Structure formats: structure tokens, C-alpha cells
Amino acid sequence: MRAVPEAAGVALPGKAVIVTALGVTQILAWGSTFYLLGVLAPFIARDTAWSYDYVVGGLSAGLLVAGIVSPRLGRLISHRGGRPVLAVGAILLAGGLLGLGIAQNLASYLAAWLVIGAGMGASLYDAAFSTLGSVYGSRSRDAITSVTLFGGFASTVCWPLSAFLVEHLGWRGACLSYAAIQIAIALPIHLIFLPRTSAAITTTQRRQVQLEPHEVRVFFILATIITTGSAILSLMGTHLLPLLQARGLDLSFAVGIGMIVGPAQVGARLIEMLAGHRYHPIWTMVASVVLVAVAAVMLLAGFPLVIVAIALYGAGNGLGSVARGTVPMALFGPERYPVLMGRLALPLMIAMAVSPFIGGLAFQHGGAFWTLAMLAILALTNVLLIAVLLVQTPKHRSESYGTE
């Protein structure tokens, strides 16, 4: 694929190179942060005698920090491009993981997660999407979709890697290994393969981040949809196995069904990548919201083929990640995209941080039924909100959104 000329006249690397670079670092970033405790938490709690709730709470603290710093990072990407932000993100992740590996008490452990949180804000999807948007502008849809295809393999790659590392090096050695991976692999990839500046957005355009009154309404609705979807994702990611077991499935069968989520996500994203240029990105969000709602209602109603509900949820969640990156670009344009993505990340990360705790309370006091009922209410609320968004953006409903 041909390179796009930079504003200064220097050719960018090909889109395939940039997408692959970001895709690899997304796998490493998600695997060493969001998915880290899925394997390491029991070992950390057993080795240190720290409460398991506090061990897992480190991730929630990190997500909160990521949300807090994201608006500022969006502005930095708008002004300076994504290369320096993503590079610093890798350094912060390495420092935080180093802190985890040497933590001798709970306070230092949680402090390390605060550093990791800052790195998450500068390293995960929102920073990557903003970088692609600043480089390719309105032609970034296929690039964003391709990066989410890579990201869908984060748990597939890093859970086995984490299990191998913890078995041979212990949980501290695993954290130190991930710190080394960030410095030795992620950091050089960002510095070598990402452009030094933004190619698609000029200095004048970068100042245009204000929203018109009607755009404020649209942005608020969009932010609510994305935040609610993220809350569902985080809640399901934390409580899916206990919910399946509460329906009478044994652990091994529940794990087997839960593994369907990953392939369903990737499959839906692949379809979006192949066919997405034929329709506006808002329809990707519609499909995502509806699929998740159908899955939630099926689980609540006790639909006998649980595997179908989980597959629909996985597909909806996979499309949701793509829509989260492409719909803001389509509705508000490339000029304001990095800044708006940073603003969207704040409530999103907060929702991801607190929803597992709220879901845990619902599960503890109301059982699986009330937890699933809460999921269904959130999902159906998003269906109503996406209908309102369609009404608020009539001119976009029938437009296509090209990739090149």
C-alpha cells in the first residue's frame, strides 16, 4: 500500500507497516495490563497474603488513572502526533510493571498500578485510534478495524505467555519480563515505525475542537453509548464464568464456552473490515448494540443454547471496539478526532473500573438473576440511545464512509 506524504514532505511508512506496528504493541499493551491479573492475581494473593479484592483492585485504580489522563493525552496527540505519546506510554508501562515486580507491600503495589494506569491511557485503543486518525484522517476506518483485529488476540497470546512466565519465573518474574518486553519490543516499534508528526491534520485544524450546540447533544449520546458498552464489557469480562456456573455449568464447560468470545470478536471485526466501506460506521455501532442486547436478554431469559448468546455477545463486543474508533471520526471529522477521543476515554475508563465492583455487589446480594437483569437493562438502554443517535444524525444514516 502506498505511503502517504507527511506535511513536511517526508513519506510515511506504508499503512500496512503502521497498522502492524500498532497491532503488535496493542497486543503487548493489553496483555501486560488489562489481562495481566487474569492469570497472576491468584499467585500474587497467595504469595503476599494481600486480599484478593485489593490485588484485583489495582487494575481498577489503573483504569481510573487512565481515564483521568486521557483527555490531556488526546490533546497531545492532536498537537504532536501519537509517536511520542505511545513511546512514553511504553516507558510508563515498563516502569509500573517493574514496580509491581519489586513491590514489598500493598501500598507500593497499588502505587505501581497508578503508574501503569498512566501508561494505559497512553498505550491502549484510544491512543492508538487517535494516532491513526491524526495520520489518515477520514481514511482511517480500515486501519482502526485492522488494529482491533490484532487487539482481539491479546488474551489469546498473553494468557498462555503469562502462565508460562509465572510457572517458570513466579509472578514477580512475569511482571519484570513484561516490563522488559515493553522496553525491548514496544518502545522501539513506536519509535521506528510510527511517523514523527501528524500527516492528516494541519496546525490550524488542530485548534478546531469546539462543538456546536447540536453537536454537544450528539457527543453526549455517543459518549453514553460507548461508556455503557464499556461497562458491560468490563462486567462480563469479570463475572462471565461465575454467571455461567450459576446456571449449572461446571467450570471446565463454562471456560470452554467463555473462550468463544475471542473468536466471535475477531470474526465480527473481520467482516467489518471486508464490508465496512459499504456503509456508514454508525451502522456498525447499531449492530454492536443490538447484538449485545439480544445476548443479554437471552442470558437473562435462560435461553438453552448458551453458546449462541455468548457468540452474539462476542460479535457485538468486537464490533463495538471498531465503532468506538470510527463513529467519532465520521460524526465530528478528523480535525477534532484526537481531542474528542481523549474526552470519550474519561467516562469509558471510569465505567470499566467501577462496573466489576458493582456487578460483584449485585451477584453477592441478588445472585445471577439480578446481575443478568442489570446487564440486560444496560444493554436495552443502549438500544434506545442508538435509536436517538440515529434520529439526531439523519444525514449520516445513508452515507458510506470510505477507507481510501
pLDDT band at 90 (very low <50, low <70, confident <90, very high): very high
Q: Over range 21-47, report the average pLDDT.
A: 90
Greater model confidence, 199 or 395: 395
> Is 211-396 in the same CATH topology as 15-203?
yes
CA-to-CA separations, 18 to 121, 127, 342, in angstroms, rounded: 20, 14, 21
Do the beta carbons of residue 141 and residue 277 sit within 8 Å?
yes
**Is a pLDDT exceeding 60 seen at residue 9?**
no
What pLDDT sits at residue 142?
82
Sequence-distant (6+) residues with CB within 8 A of 223 are 343, 344, 347
Greater model confidence, 1 or 108: 108
Tell me how many helices (H) and strands (E) the chain has. 16, 0
φ and ψ at 11, to 5 degrees?
-70, 135
What pLDDT sits at residue 114?
97
CA angle (53, 57, 62) in 5-degree steps: 170
Do the beta carbons of residue 374 and residue 217 sit within 8 Å?
no
Read off the pLDDT of residues 206-221 as tens digits, 9 standing for 90 and up. 455 677 888 889 999 9
**Is a pLDDT exceeding 90 seen at residue 184?**
yes
pTM of the model: 0.82
Cell numbers given for 79: 498537537
Sequence-distant (6+) residues with CB within 8 A of 57 are 110
Question: Comparing C-alpha atoms, which of 354, 355, 279, 350 is closest to residue 319?
Answer: 279
Q: Over range 143-158, report the average pLDDT.
A: 85
Read off the pLDDT of residues 267-280 as tens digits, 9 standing for 90 and up. 888 888 888 778 88
In angstroms, the first-to-last Cα distance of the chain is 10
pLDDT band at 20 (very low <50, low <70, confident <90, very high): very high
| Fold type of domain 15-203 | Growth Hormone; Chain: A; (1.20.1250)
Q: Is the dihedral of CA 292, 295, 300, 306 positive or negative?
A: negative
For residue 403, the SS3 value is coil
Q: Identify the CATH number of the domain defined by range 211-396.
A: 1.20.1250.20
Where are the domains positioned within the chain? 15-203, 211-396
What pLDDT sits at residue 244?
81
